[in-house]
C-alpha cells in the first residue's frame, strides 16, 4: 500500500516511577488495514492504546496522524482527529436509545439547548446505511445483545468521523456466533478505508480477521508481520519470549506434580448456577497447582466465587476435606481453611487507605484478640514476618497499601491468607497488572504453598502463566469445564487451539 | 529501597492540615473576644462547654456510622425521646440505674432498627434515618404531647447534667469517658479496625470473612446510644423533657463536628483525637 499511514506511533516509551511500561514501541495502521495487537498481560498493549487515544502522554516518542504530528496526552484532540477506542466493557448509557447513544454528549442542537432530533435521526440513518449495519435506532441499548451494543459503539465512533478504531478485547463478552458478526462488521469498515487495531489474546480471531499483526512483549513491539507470512507456534514463541518459554517450560516440567500428594482437598460434582455455569465437576488435590483457563467471560470467576461462599450455586455438591460443604458466606469457607484472592485487588481485595499490617491482619483479626483489645504487637509481628518472607517492598508495615506498586499490593493480598496457612488457596488472575519480576516472585510463593501441602487453585487467562505454574490445567468454555489435562501432557499451542476452537 | 522515597508532598500538606483546626479555633476565639470581651468570661466558656458536650457525645458516637460511609439523621428525635422516657421512668419511681437504662435503650433500639434496615435490607442510610427521624419524632409527640415535663426534686438525676465535680460540670466527665472509650474501640479493638475496613472497602472486608452486616447494624446502635445519652444529659441539665428537643439541625451539628474532626464523609479512617477540636470549633463559632 502506498497510502500515508492513518496513524503512526514512533519510539513510544512510558515510564511509571521505576516501572517501564513501554519501551520504544512502534505501531502503524494503514487505511483499510486491520492490525492485530497481541501480547501477554502486562506486555504494554493497554499503555500503547492509552497513548494513541491520548489518555496517557508518553515519556518519549511521537504520534503522527495522517502524516502530521499529533498533540500527546490530549484525548479530545485525538477524537477530533479521528481516533476512537472501543473498550472491553461497554461504554454506553443502557437506558437510552441507540440514537441517543450514538450522539451522546454532542447532539446537534437548535439553539437554547434543544436537541435537533430530526437532523440527528437523518444523520444516523445515513450512517448505518453507509456501513450496512442493521440497528433499530429507537431500541434502548440495554435491551440489545452484546454484539449489537458493540455495533452501537462502532457507529458512535464513526459518527465522529473516526478513521482509526482501536478495539480492546472486543470479543471478550461475545458468544461464538456473535464473534463472526463482529468480524463481518470489521470487514465492512476495512472496505470503507477505516483502519482497525484489534487487540486480543485469542489467536484464532486475530488470524481470522487481521491483515497484519504486531506482537508485544515486556513493553516492546518485538515483531511485525503480515498474518499470511507467519505461523502460530512462531507467534506464541514471540509473545512469550524464547528464553522465558524454554526456561519456564523446563522449570515447570521438572517440578510438575499432577494430583499432588493424592489427597483430595476439594471435590466439586455437577456444580450448576442457572444461566452462568453448568455441570462443573473436578477434584482439587493437596500439593498441586490447578489452573482453570479460558476466555474472559467463560464464567471462571463466577465458579470460584461459589467455592468460596461469596456466591451460591443452585445445584450440585461440594466437598471440602471429605465433608460436604455449602457456604453461605466467605466466613464459613475461611473457617474450613479456604483463602481467596479476588481478581480486582483495588475494588475487592485491599483497604487502600489502611496500612500494610492492617491489610495483612484483615483475615485473621480473631487471632490477635487479647481479651477485648487487639494485640498491636502480635499484629505487627505477624505483618513483619509476611513482609520479609514475601520480600514486600518497602518493608515497612505502617505504609498505606495505596503507596505500593501493583506487584507488592498483590503480594499483600496473597500474604494476608498465608498468615492463616490455608488448606486451599483460590486465586483469580493473581498477576494482572503486575510486572515480570513480581510475577516470578508470586509464582515462587504459590509453589512454596503447594510444596508445603496446600491445594492451589488459580484462575488465569494468561496462557504463559498457566503453562509456567500449573500441575494440571482445566479449560472452561461458556460456563462448562470442557477438559482437564495434566500440564505435561499438553503444549501451549494445543491449549490455545482448545480454548479457541471451542469458542468458534 | 528507602522508605523515605515514599514520602509524598501530601504528607507535609497533611501535617499542616492536621493543625489547621486548632489554629482556626484560636482565630475564632481571638476575633470573638476582641469584638465582645464577655466571650472569654468563665460563664460563657462554661456555656460553650455544656453545649459542646451534647454535640460532642453525639458526634463521637455517630463517627463510626460516618466511617462506614453512612449517616444517621435520626439523632435529634432520639435525644428528645430518651429524655421523655427517662422522665416517665423517674415519674413512676424507678431507681436511677433503671431510668438511665430505659433512656439509653430507646436510642440503642432505634439505632438497631436503622442499622438492620441499612445493612440487611440494603436501603440507603439517608432514606432510612430520615424516615426514622419522622417516626421517632412522631412517637415522641404521641408519648409526651406538646407540653414540657418538669423534672423536679430528683437531685441524683439532675446531677448528671447540672452537677459539678472538682469544679467542672459533670457532663464533661461523661464526654471524656465516652470519647476515651470510643477512641480505644477504634484504635485497639477488632471492631474499630473492621469499621475502618468497611469504610475503606466493604466488599474486601466481606471477602476477608467478616460479618460486615452485623457490624454495620451495631454501628448504628452506637450512634443511637450516643443520641440517647445526650438526651438524658440535656433533660437533666434543663430539668425538663420535651418532645421537640433536638430540633432540625441537631443531626447536622453532629455530622459537622465529625467531619471537622477529619472523618471523610465518604467513609474512611478518622483520627479520633481531632474530633474534640471539631466540637470545640463548632461550639465556639455557634456561641459567638
pLDDT tier, B9 (very low <50, low <70, confident <90, very high otherwise):
very low
Question: What is the DSSP pairing of strand A264-273 with strand A315-320?
Answer: antiparallel
Domain-located, residue B189: yes
**Whole-Å CA distances, A23 to A84, A218, A240, A339:** 23, 8, 17, 37
Q: Once rounded to an integer, what is the mean pLDDT over residues B219-229?
A: 94
Distance from CA of A127 to the nearest CA of B (A): 43
B200–A372: do the CB atoms touch at under 8 Å?
A: no
Alpha helices in A210-299 (DSSP H): 232-240, 242-255
Q: What is the DSSP string of A388-456?
A: HHTT-SS--TTSBGGGS-HHHHHHHHHHHHHTT--SEEEEESTTTT--HHHHHHHHHHHHHHHHTT-EE
Residue A438, pLDDT score: 75
* Cβ proximity of B55 and B205 under 8 Å: no
Q: What's the rounded Cα separation, in Å, for the pair B31 and B116?
A: 46
Nearest-by-Cβ selection for B189 from A333, A349, A374: A374
Q: What's the rounded Cα separation, in Å, for the pair A96 and A91?
A: 12
CB pairs under 8 A between A and B: 87
Condensed to tens digits (0 to 9), the pLDDT of residues A252-285 reads 555 778 887 888 889 899 989 888 888 899 999 9
Question: Scanning the structure block, which residue is given the C-alpha cell 445445584?
Answer: A315
Residue B220 structural domain = 54-273
pLDDT tier, A245 (very low <50, low <70, confident <90, very high otherwise):
low
Q: Is the dihedral of CA B102, B117, B62, A365 positive or negative?
A: positive
pLDDT tier, B13 (very low <50, low <70, confident <90, very high otherwise):
very low
Q: Which of B220, B109, B111, B231 is nearest to B171 (CA)?
A: B231
- Range A486-503 burial, b when 16+ CB lie within 10 A, else e: ebeebebbebbebbbebb
Partners of residue A217 on adjacent β-strands: A220
Q: Has residue A293 got a pLDDT over 50?
A: yes
Q: Is B161 helix (H, G, I), strand (E, B) or coil?
A: helix
Mutate to test the interface with B, among A305, A347, A351, A416 (most CBs of B within 10 A): A351
Residue B69, pLDDT score: 86
Residue A19, pLDDT score: 75
Q: Is A224 helix (H, G, I), strand (E, B) or coil?
A: strand
Domain-located, residue B62: yes
Q: What's the rounded Cα separation, in Å, for the pair A469 and A288?
A: 10
Condensed to tens digits (0 to 9), the pLDDT of residues A410-422 reads 889 999 998 888 8
Per-chain mean pLDDT for chain A:
83
Q: Count of residues for chain B?
A: 288
Sort out which chain A residues have CB atoms less than 8 A from B5's CB and list them.
Answer: 394
Distance from CA of A356 to the nearest CA of B (A): 12
Nearest C-alpha in B relative to A402: B6
Question: Scanning the structure block, which residue is given the C-alpha cell 445515513?
Answer: A126
**Whole-Å CA distances, A196 to A6, A77, A208, A221, B140:** 10, 19, 14, 17, 68
Q: Which of B119, B125, B111 is nearest to B78 (CA)?
A: B111
B269–A396: do the CB atoms touch at under 8 Å?
A: no
Predicted ipTM? 0.74
How many C-beta atoms surround the C-beta of residue B24 within 10 A? 15
How many C-beta atoms surround the C-beta of residue A360 within 10 A? 29
Domain-located, residue B20: no
* Cβ proximity of A482 and A475 under 8 Å: yes
Domain-located, residue B280: no
Q: Where are the beta strands (DSSP E) in A66-116?
A: 68-69, 83-86
CATH architecture of A249-337+423-503: 3-Layer(aba) Sandwich (3.40)
Domain-located, residue B112: yes
Alpha helices in A73-202 (DSSP H): 75-80, 98-102, 117-130, 146-159, 176-191
Give Cβ neighbours of residue A68 (< 8 Å, ≥ 6 apart): none
Which regions of chain A carry the CATH code 3.40.50.300?
A: 7-240, 249-337+423-503
Q: What's the rounded Cα separation, in Å, for the pair B57 and A459?
A: 49
Q: Which residues between 199 and 238 in chain B have a beta carbon less than 8 angstroms from any beta carbon of chain A?
A: 200-201, 203-211
Distance from CA of B205 to the nearest CA of A (A): 7
Question: What are the backbone angles phi and psi of residue A257, rounded to the nearest 5°?
Answer: -135, 75
A365–B210: do the CB atoms touch at under 8 Å?
A: yes
* Cβ proximity of B160 and B232 under 8 Å: yes
Reduced 3-state DSSP string for A333-400 = HHHCCEEEECCCHHHHHCCCCCEHHHHHHCCCHHHHEECCEECHHHHHHHHHHHHHHCCCCCCCCCCE
Question: What is the DSSP pairing of strand A60-65 with strand A83-86?
Answer: unpaired
Distance from CA of A344 to the nearest CA of B (A): 10
Condensed to tens digits (0 to 9), the pLDDT of residues A295-314 reads 767 788 889 999 998 888 88
B211–A329: do the CB atoms touch at under 8 Å?
A: yes
Q: Has residue B271 got a pLDDT over 80?
A: no
CATH architecture of A7-240: 3-Layer(aba) Sandwich (3.40)
Domain-located, residue B287: no
Distance from CA of A329 to the nearest CA of B (A): 8
How many C-beta atoms surround the C-beta of residue A191 within 10 A? 11
Alpha-carbon dihedral angle through residues B127, B132, B134, B137, given to the nearest 10 degrees: -160
The number of folded domains in chain B is 1
Q: Has residue B218 got a pLDDT over 90?
A: yes
Residue B270, pLDDT score: 44
Amino acid at each position: 500500500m502506498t497510502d500515508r499511514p492513518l496513524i503512526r506511533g514512533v519510539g513510544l516509551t512510558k515510564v511509571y516511577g521505576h516501572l517501564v511500561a513501554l519501551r520504544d514501541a512502534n505501531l502503524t495502521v494503514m487505511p483499510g488495514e486491520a492490525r492485530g495487537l497481541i501480547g501477554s498481560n502486562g506486555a504494554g498493549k493497554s499503555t500503547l492504546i492509552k497513548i494513541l487515544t491520548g489518555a496517557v502522554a508518553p515519556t518519549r516518542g511521537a504520534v503522527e496522524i495522517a502524516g502530521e504530528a499529533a498533540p500527546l496526552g490530549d484525548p479530545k484532540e485525538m477524537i477530533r482527529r479521528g481516533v476512537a477506542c472501543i473498550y472491553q466493557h461497554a461504554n454506553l448509557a443502557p437506558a437510552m436509545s441507540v440514537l441517543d447513544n450514538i450522539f451522546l454528549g454532542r447532539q446537534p442542537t437548535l439553539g437554547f439547548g434543544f436537541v435537533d432530533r430530526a437532523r440527528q435521526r437523518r444523520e444516523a440513518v445515513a450512517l448505518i446505511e453507509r456501513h450496512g449495519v442493521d440497528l433499530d435506532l429507537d431500541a434502548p441499548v440495554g435491551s440489545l445483545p452484546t454484539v449489537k451494543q458493540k455495533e452501537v459503539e462502532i457507529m458512535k465512533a464513526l459518527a465522529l468521523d473516526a478513521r482509526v478504531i482501536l478495539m480492546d478485547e472486543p470479543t471478550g463478552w461475545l458468544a461464538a456466533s456473535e464473534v463472526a458478526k463482529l468480524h463481518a462488521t470489521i470487514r465492512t469498515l476495512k472496505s470503507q478505508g477505516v483502519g482497525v487495531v484489534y487487540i486480543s489474546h485469542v489467536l484464532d480471531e486475530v488470524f481470522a480477521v487481521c491483515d497484519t499483526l504486531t506482537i508485544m512483549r515486556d513493553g516492546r513491539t518485538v515483531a511485525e508481520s503480515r498474518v499470511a507470512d507467519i505461523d502460530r507456534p512462531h507467534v506464541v514463541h514471540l509473545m512469550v519470549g524464547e528464553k522465558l518459554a524454554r526456561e519456564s517450560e523446563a522449570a515447570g516440567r521438572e517440578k510438575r506434580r499432577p494430583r499432588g500428594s493424592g489427597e483430595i482437598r476439594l471435590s466439586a460434582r455437577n456444580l450448576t448456577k442457572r444461566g452462568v455455569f453448568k455441570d462443573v465437576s473436578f477434584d482439587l488435590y493437596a500439593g498441586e497447582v490447578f489452573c482453570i483457563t479460558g476466555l474472559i467471560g467463560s464464567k471462571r470467576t463466577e465458579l470460584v466465587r461459589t467455592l468460596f461462599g461469596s456466591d451460591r450455586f443452585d445445584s450440585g455438591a461440594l466437598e471440602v476435606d471429605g465433608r460436604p460443604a455449602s457456604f453461605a458466606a466467605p466466613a464459613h469457607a475461611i473457617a474450613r481453611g479456604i483463602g481467596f484472592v479476588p481478581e480486582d485487588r483495588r475494588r475487592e481485595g485491599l483497604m487502600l487507605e489502611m496500612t500494610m499490617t492492617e491489610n495483612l491482619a484483615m483475615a485473621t483479626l480473631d487471632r490477635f484478640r487479647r481479651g477485648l483489645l487487639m494485640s498491636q504487637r502480635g499484629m505487627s509481628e505477624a505483618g513483619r514476618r509476611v513482609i520479609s518472607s514475601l520480600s514486600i517492598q518497602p518493608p515497612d508495615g505502617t505504609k498505606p497499601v495505596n503507596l505500593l506498586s501493583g506487584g507488592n499490593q498483590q503480594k499483600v493480598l496473597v500474604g494476608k491468607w498465608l498468615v492463616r496457612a490455608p488448606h486451599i488457596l483460590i486465586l483469580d488472575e493473581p498477576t494482572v497488572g503486575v510486572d515480570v519480576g513480581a510475577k516470578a516472585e508470586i509464582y515462587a510463593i504459590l509453589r512454596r504453598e503447594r510444596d508445603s501441602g496446600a491445594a492451589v487453585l488459580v484462575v488465569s487467562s494468561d496462557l504463559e502463566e498457566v503453562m509456567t505454574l500449573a500441575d494440571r490445567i482445566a479449560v472452561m468454555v461458556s460456563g462448562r469445564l470442557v477438559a482437564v489435562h495434566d500440564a505435561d501432557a499438553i503444549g501451549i499451542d494445543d491449549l490455545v487451539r482448545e480454548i479457541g476452537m471451542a469458542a468458534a | 529501597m528507602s522508605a523515605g522515597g515514599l514520602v509524598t508532598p501530601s504528607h507535609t500538606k497533611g501535617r499542616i492540615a492536621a493543625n489547621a483546626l486548632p489554629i482556626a479555633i484560636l482565630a475564632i476565639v481571638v476575633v470573638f473576644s476582641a469584638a465582645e470581651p464577655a466571650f472569654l468570661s468563665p460563664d460563657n466558656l462554661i456555656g460553650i462547654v455544656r453545649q459542646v458536650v451534647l454535640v460532642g457525645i453525639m458526634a463521637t458516637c455517630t463517627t463510626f456510622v460516618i466511617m462506614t460511609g453512612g449517616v444517621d439523621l435520626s439523632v435529634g428525635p432520639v435525644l428528645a425521646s430518651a429524655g421523655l422516657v427517662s422522665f416517665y421512668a423517674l415519674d413512676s419511681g424507678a431507681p436511677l440505674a433503671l431510668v438511665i437504662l430505659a433512656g439509653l435503650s430507646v436510642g440503642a433500639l432505634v439505632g438497631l432498627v436503622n442499622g438492620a434496615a441499612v445493612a440487611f435490607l440494603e436501603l440507603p442510610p439517608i432514606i432510612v434515618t430520615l424516615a426514622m427521624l419522622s417516626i421517632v419524632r412522631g412517637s415522641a409527640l404521641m408519648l409526651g404531647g406538646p407540653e414540657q415535663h418538669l423534672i423536679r426534686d430528683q437531685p441524683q438525676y439532675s446531677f448528671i447534667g447540672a452537677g459539678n465535680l472538682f469544679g467542672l460540670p459533670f457532663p464533661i466527665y461523661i464526654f471524656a469517658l465516652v470519647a476515651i472509650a470510643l477512641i480505644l474501640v477504634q484504635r485497639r479493638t477488632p471492631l474499630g479496625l473492621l469499621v475502618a475496613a468497611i469504610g475503606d472497602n466493604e466488599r474486601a472486608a466481606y471477602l476477608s470473612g467478616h460479618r460486615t452486616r452485623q457490624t454495620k447494624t451495631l454501628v448504628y446502635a452506637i450512634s443511637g446510644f450516643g443520641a440517647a445519652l445526650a438526651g438524658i444529659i440535656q433533660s437533666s441539665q434543663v430539668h425538663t423533657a420535651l418532645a421537640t428537643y433536638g430540633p432540625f439541625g441537631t443531626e447536622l451539628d453532629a455530622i459537622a463536628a465529625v467531619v471537622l474532626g477529619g472523618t471523610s464523609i465518604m467513609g474512611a479512617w478518622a483520627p479520633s483525637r481531632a474530633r474534640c477540636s471539631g466540637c470545640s470549633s463548632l461550639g465556639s463559632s455557634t456561641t459567638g
